[in-house]
Structure 1
Amino acid sequence: MAAAAVLGAGAGAGVWYVLLRDGSTGSSAGPATGVTVTTSPPASSALPSSRDSADSGNGTPATDPGQDAPASPPAAPATAPAPGYRHAQDPVGYTLDVPEGWTRRQKQGEKAPVVYYDSPSDGRQLQIFAVTEDSPATSLGLAESDPGYGFARQPGYEALGRDSGPTWAELTYRYDDADKGPRQVVDHRFQAADGTLYAIRVSGPATLPTARIRAPLTAALNSFCPPGGSCG
């Protein structure tokens, strides 16, 4: 259910699709505009998009993973992570806040590593990877609609919300996973402060409130700092 971003267009896209299926991968939400990077001027992030989250707004303030987040724009990140989150220096090189207790794993895409943070209790998941298209909107459009691997082809697919800005694009959708059942997804693609394009996706059971699924995405976007950046 992912896009052709990690592997780019062409033959690699099929491999990327297999790698990013929600059953073994994850998902994304609101902009990381509160992070400042000294290597280049900070850029705006993306907001709601993807297939499992029914919320198409700009994201919500990070809250404890066990609580629903209000449907309002994310606030500037605090020095310390919100309750229930920790600041992670990911081995790939970027930093971001992730829920405490979630398990990290990594798979290698054709052109970039794909990182997952999985909840041990309720089926939610974060997924982070760099993309290679020329814009977040192009990357998300390919991910959804490519006739060969687009996640719109998945059983039960339904787009629930879309939003975009100059440097980000987001899609919220749902689909029926063969192993996990109905899923909500928020797929957020954005330009980081160093100019690199990333996708952060968050997913979870369709039975969970959208705000609960979106909360880890909002926390990740508000705290995201690309490799080599000095963020505060």
Structure 2
Amino acid sequence: MRIFDADRQEWVGHEQEQRIAELHDRDAVRQGKALRGAVTVLAVCGLAFGTWALGWKDEPGPRGYLTVLQQPAPSGDKNAGSGDKNAEGDTAAPSPAGVPPAPYEEVFDQEGFRLAVPRGWVRDLVEPTEGFNVVNYRSPQGDRRLQVYRVGESSPYESLRTWLDETPMPGGFDQLAPVERTDDDGRPAARLDYVADKFKGEPDIGTWHVIDHRFEAVDGELYALAVYGSDADGRDDEEEFMSTALSWFCPPDEICPEP
């Protein structure tokens, strides 16, 4: 007896029917194995992708120091446009975080330290026969000065007392107050406030006002910052000048937070 094979579209005998049935069964087995293999591959790929995605999500980002800049105040802000008097006598606009207030700029001195000085000031270096190098930053007119150097005494207070006791005073010297012991972020400091009429090698501008601040920096060393300016225009500008220079000072080979 013959039957009709729908797949082959022909009539076949009983023996051919058995052979075709065997072929069909073999193909079904192969297709089942192929399907199971494909499902397994897809499952492994999905698991691998999920593991990678979770690992990427939890992976720490790049490390570094980020500074968030302060956004300008809206035009309607009642505080917009207000500011403090700066070293040149102008009104300083609020500056972004990490940027010195106008007209100051951040400088990295050749001696290795960082500080902020007004733009356009001229640097010179004094190399004494004894002691440490002295760095001066002067205004173009020569009527203002910032002086920076290391000191070798055991404390800021002792350093100022030694200077007062052993150094010839400039002409017209007048100490405005006793040497003041202060504290700079938990580190010892001392300050001397005085006026003088003349300094060797400096222009004659009348009476000078000087603030000499000596302090222990983050590296454990002692430094001196001294600011000089005319006493005729008041003493607040020297105070502001010292505050800016001191807040931006960072000793050599140290990482200091930005003010």
Quick one: which of 211, 214, 217 aligns to 1:192?
217
1:35-75 CA distances to partner (integer Å, 9 max, x unpaired)?
xxxxxxxxxxxxxxxxxxxxxxxxxx985322279xxxxxx
- Structure 2 residue ranges without an equivalent (≥5): 1-82
* TM-score, normalisation: structure 2: 0.57
Partner of 2:197: 176
Distance, in Å, in 2 between the alignment partners of 1:62 and 1:170 is 23
Of structures 1 and 2, the larger Rg is shown by 2
Identity %: 34
Partner of 2:245: 220
Is residue 129 of structure 1 aligned with residue 123 of structure 2? no
Contact 1:63/1:82 (<8 A) preserved: no
After superposition, the Cα gap between the structure-2 partners of 1:174 and 1:185, relative to the gap in structure 1 and judged at 3 Å, is: same
Contact 1:169/1:188 (<8 A) preserved: yes
1:164-196 CA distances to partner (integer Å, 9 max, x unpaired)?
125100011011206523211100000000011
Partner of 1:97: 116
Contact 1:202/1:216 (<8 A) preserved: yes
Partner of 1:158: 174
- Higher RCO (CA < 8 A, seq sep 6+): 1
Distance, in Å, in 1 between the alignment partners of 2:245 and 2:254 is 16
After superposition, the Cα gap between the structure-2 partners of 1:63 and 1:89, relative to the gap in structure 1 and judged at 3 Å, is: farther
Quick one: which of 84, 101, 117 aligns to 2:103?
84
State the Cα distance separating 1:156 from its structure 2 match.
Answer: 1.9
Amino acid at match of 1:64: N
State the Cα distance separating 1:208 from its structure 2 match.
Answer: 2.3
How many residues matched? 161
Distance, in Å, in 2 between the alignment partners of 1:79 and 1:90 is 18
Partner of 1:65: 87
- Structure 1 residue ranges without an equivalent (≥5): 1-60, 70-76
Contact 1:95/1:226 (<8 A) preserved: yes
Distance, in Å, in 2 between the alignment partners of 1:165 and 1:214 is 15
Where is the helix percentage greater, Structure 1 or Structure 2? 2
Task: Decide which moves more: 136-145 or 211-220.
Answer: 211-220
Partner of 1:209: 234
Contact 1:87/1:97 (<8 A) preserved: yes
Distance, in Å, in 2 between the alignment partners of 1:98 and 1:183 is 19
Please report the RMSD computed on the Cα atoms of aligned residues, expressed in angstroms.
2.2
SS in 1 for 2:176: strand
Contact 1:63/1:84 (<8 A) preserved: no
Distance, in Å, in 2 between the alignment partners of 1:62 and 1:227 is 30
Is residue 107 of structure 1 aligned with residue 123 of structure 2? no
Contact 2:182/2:191 (<8 A) preserved: no
After superposition, the Cα gap between the structure-2 partners of 1:63 and 1:101, relative to the gap in structure 1 and judged at 3 Å, is: farther
